[in-house]
Amino acid sequence: QVQLVESGGGLVKPGGSLRLSCAASGFTFTDYYMSWIRQAPGKGLEWVSYISNRGTTIYYADSGKGRFTISRDTARNSLYLQMNSLRAEDTAVYYCARHFGSGGGFDPWGQGTLVTVSS
Amino acid sequence: QSVLTQPPSVSAAPGQKVTISCSGSSSNIGNNYVSWFQQLPGTAPKLLIYDNNKRPSGIPDRFSGSKSGTSATLGITGLQTGDEADYYCGTWDNSLSAVVFGGGTRLTVL
A31-64 pLDDT, tens digit each: 999 999 999 999 999 999 999 999 999 999 999 9
List chain B residues with CB under 8 Å of A114.
Answer: none
Asked whether the predicted pLDDT for residue A92 surpasses 80, the reply is: yes
- List the pLDDT tens digit at each of the 110 positions of chain B: 899 999 999 999 999 999 999 999 999 999 999 999 999 999 999 999 999 999 999 999 999 999 999 999 999 999 999 999 999 999 999 999 999 999 999 999 98
Q: Do B44 and A111 touch (CB under 8 A)?
A: yes
Distance CA B15, CA A83 (A): 46
- Pairing relation of β-strands B85-93 and A106-109? unpaired
Nearest to A100 among B50, B88, B97 (CB): B50
Distance CA B52, CA A64 (A): 28
List chain B residues with CB under 8 Å of A105.
Answer: 33, 35, 47, 50-51, 90
Using a CB–CB cutoff of 8 Å, tell me whether A35 touches chain B. Answer: yes
Interface of B with A in 73-92 (CB under 8 A): 86, 88, 90-92
Q: How many CA atoms lie less than 13 Å away from A106 in the CB half-sphere?
A: 31
The Cα diameter of chain B in Å comes to 40
List chain B residues with CB under 8 Å of A95.
Answer: 44-45
Using a CB–CB cutoff of 8 Å, tell me whether A100 touches chain B. Answer: yes
Distance CA B4, CA B96 (A): 13
Distance CA A35, CA A59 (A): 9
Q: Each residue of B51-68: pLDDT tens digit?
A: 999 999 999 999 999 999
Distance CA A49, CA A51 (A): 7
Among B93, B74, B76, smallest CA distance to B33 is for B93
Distance CA B33, CA B29 (A): 7
List chain B residues with CB under 8 Å of A107.
Answer: 46-47, 50, 56
Judge contact between B69 and B52, C-beta under 8 A.
no
Q: Do B33 and A102 touch (CB under 8 A)?
A: yes
| Minimal-distance CA residue of chain A relative to B36 | A105
